[in-house]
Amino acid sequence: MNLDHAPLGHDVAYPAEYDPGLLYPIERDVNRAGIGVGTPLPFHGADIWNAYELSWLDPRGKPRVAIGRFTVPADTPRIIESKSFKLYLNSLNQARLPDADAYMARVQRDVSAAAGGPVRLALVAPRDFQDERIVELAGETLDDLDVAIEAYTPAPELLRCVPGAGEVEETLTSDLLKSNCPVTSQPDWGSVQIRYRGPKLDRAALLAYIVSFRQHTEFHEHCVERIFTDLMAACRPSRLSVYARYTRRGGLDINPWRATPGWPGPSTEARSARQ
């Protein structure tokens, strides 16, 4: 993955005018090849971006603000590097647009072109800010388990099923997910929800595996696909969903989910207290 020309990790002046060329796409296939994901994809899903610093000018020059929720389908060929996304969104701060619909149409067009597929944007107007909810991930937490941790880079060999436990359907969560930016090495803090139907996972082993990402350098989307792939390889569940919610940086948070085809995705409208 060549990020030499990406703005991430470099000093970049904030743009004074609208510039869709600021968006920096990264091919998904490069990372997927490294974890054995080919075509057709073994999952469906999306990357949910929440943008808290959206603004533009109305025709008379008065600023407008909104919260934006972007949905980038997992089958688009490219992800968007996060700092370039931030710079692009700020390039619209002085753009005069007729209304919120015009803003939404322009941004959807530009981001879809960069991702290589249809990206949806929903705007939350200031009058609706009060309806934004704080909700933690549903499921049973793993974090109270008393486990010894020795691995801090991804260790899929830790994953195992409980012998003789039979098939179960359950939802497990952890707030102990942490990885690092592959360019700046800054920490990416997250929570993860794992829903599955299949052989019962050893919970202590699963928690140790989640923590093993602590010194790993990889983008959010890639981490979720790695977790999905490792869980499928370890215990072969008939149904699996992996959903991570990462804390925001630069006014953006990224929340990828991947699920086996035919299984619905998680509820993604609310954010957690840490977000």
Just list the catalytic residues: 181, 188
CA distances from 3 to 83, 129, 240, 248 (A): 12, 36, 32, 21
Is residue 222 annotated as involved in ligand binding? no
Closest CA to 171 of 241, 272, 237: 241
Annotated binding residue 86: no
Residue 44 is assigned to a ligand binding site: no
Residue 112 is labelled as binding a ligand: no
- Determine whether the annotation assigns residue 225 to a binding site: no
Which single residue is written with the structure tokens 């086996």?
260
Residue pair 124/66 in contact (Cβ under 8 Å)? The answer is yes
10: amino acid identity, one letter: H
Task: Determine whether the annotation assigns residue 80 to a binding site.
Answer: yes
Reference 54, options 16, 11, 100, 17; nearest CA is 100
CA distances from 210 to 35, 143, 173, 188 (A): 17, 10, 10, 13
Q: What is the chain's Cα-based Rg?
A: 19
Is 139 labeled as ligand-binding? Answer: no
State yes or no: 10 annotated in a binding site: no
Placement of tokens 């590097």 in the chain: 81
In the annotated binding site for substrate, the residues are 80-82, 220-221
In the annotated binding site, the residues are 80-83, 220-221, 249-250
In the annotated binding site for NADPH, the residues are 82-83, 249-250
